[in-house]
Copies of this chain bind each other. A is one copy, B any other.
Amino acid sequence: MSDPGELEPVTRESTAAIIANQLRSAIMYGSLAPGDQLTETGLAAQLGVSRGPLREAMQRLVQEGLLRSETHRGLFVIDLDAADVRDIYHARLAVERSACLLIMQGNRGEALVALTAALDRLVQAAESRDRVAMSDADQAFHQTLVQLSGNTRLQRMAETLLVETRMCLTVMQESYPEPAELVEEHRVLVDAIADGDEQRLLRLIEEHMLSTVDQITDSGPAARAG
């Protein structure tokens, strides 16, 4: 990608983009919890910027669907019910299934290298038994998967969906899989890619997503989200 000493055009992010990333991260890790109001003056002071750029950043998240806007009342972090969780995983399936197809038809070798590395980090996180680290590695794996498709639209969609997935997890930690199970679910995906078995890969990714949906809709723990 970028050799050391190589001269690349400097790409400065706009302030709104930086703030949006911070907010997204805060929502993802739960420091901005579902239902919370984002008071402009408070956040602006906290971030050391004026209300202008902050409002621009918040509009980005509204467009993403992470915030909901009520006129003359304020902006709130969305709260997820069972229907949202189901929608999120169905949408993730759509995106990641498509990414899998593109990977199998594209540079499978490169994908295998990157995903094997991502799997290794997931294994390390599982050994540490740190839930946050596991979640981070889990998310990174899927983000890598979609990145490898080379489709920027799918990547943009996945970014938002993975944040929302993370929001689900903070609410219902009990249903997050055991470390060994988590690693295994991802290992079989990498194996299928290694074997070049497209049918198996698609079946596995569908199971990977839909099993979570079934788990949720059966026990229905997301109702506690509100």
Within 8 Å CB of A88, what residues of B? 153
Given A12-B71, A14-B71, A69-B14, are A91 and B154 neighbors across the interface (CB < 8 Å)?
yes
- Say yes or no: is A95 at the interface (Cβ < 8 Å to chain B): yes
Within 8 Å CB of A108, what residues of B? none
- Say yes or no: is A56 at the interface (Cβ < 8 Å to chain B): yes
Q: Is the interface of A mostly helix, strand, loop or mixed?
A: helix
B102 engages A152 (CB within 8 Å): no
Smallest beta-carbon distance A198→chain B, Å: 14
Contact with A94, one of B14, B16, B60, B94 (Cβ below 8 angstroms): B94
B151 engages A87 (CB within 8 Å): yes
- Say yes or no: is A161 at the interface (Cβ < 8 Å to chain B): yes
Given A16-B59, A59-B16, A59-B57, are A98 and B102 neighbors across the interface (CB < 8 Å)?
no
- Say yes or no: is A46 at the interface (Cβ < 8 Å to chain B): no
- Say yes or no: is A65 at the interface (Cβ < 8 Å to chain B): yes
A154 engages B90 (CB within 8 Å): yes
Contact with A90, one of B90, B93, B98 (Cβ below 8 angstroms): B98
- Say yes or no: is A49 at the interface (Cβ < 8 Å to chain B): no
CA of A124 to CA of B151 in the docked complex: distance in angstroms? 35
CA of A59 to CA of B12 in the docked complex: distance in angstroms? 16
- Contact code string A86-118 (vs B, CB < 8 Å = 1, else 0): 011011011101100010000000000000000
Smallest beta-carbon distance A148→chain B, Å: 14
A153 engages B87 (CB within 8 Å): yes
Within 8 Å CB of A55, what residues of B? 52, 56
- Say yes or no: is A64 at the interface (Cβ < 8 Å to chain B): yes
Looking at A69, A88, A91, the one whose CB has the most chain B CB atoms below 10 A away is: A91
B87 engages A98 (CB within 8 Å): no
Smallest beta-carbon distance A37→chain B, Å: 15
List 10 A–B pairs whose Cβ atoms lie within 8 Å, in order of A's numbering. A14-B69, A60-B62, A61-B63, A63-B64, A65-B153, A87-B154, A90-B154, A91-B153, A91-B154, A94-B154
* Further contacts, 4 of them, CB under 8 A, given A56-B56, A60-B63: A14-B71, A57-B59, A59-B59, A65-B153
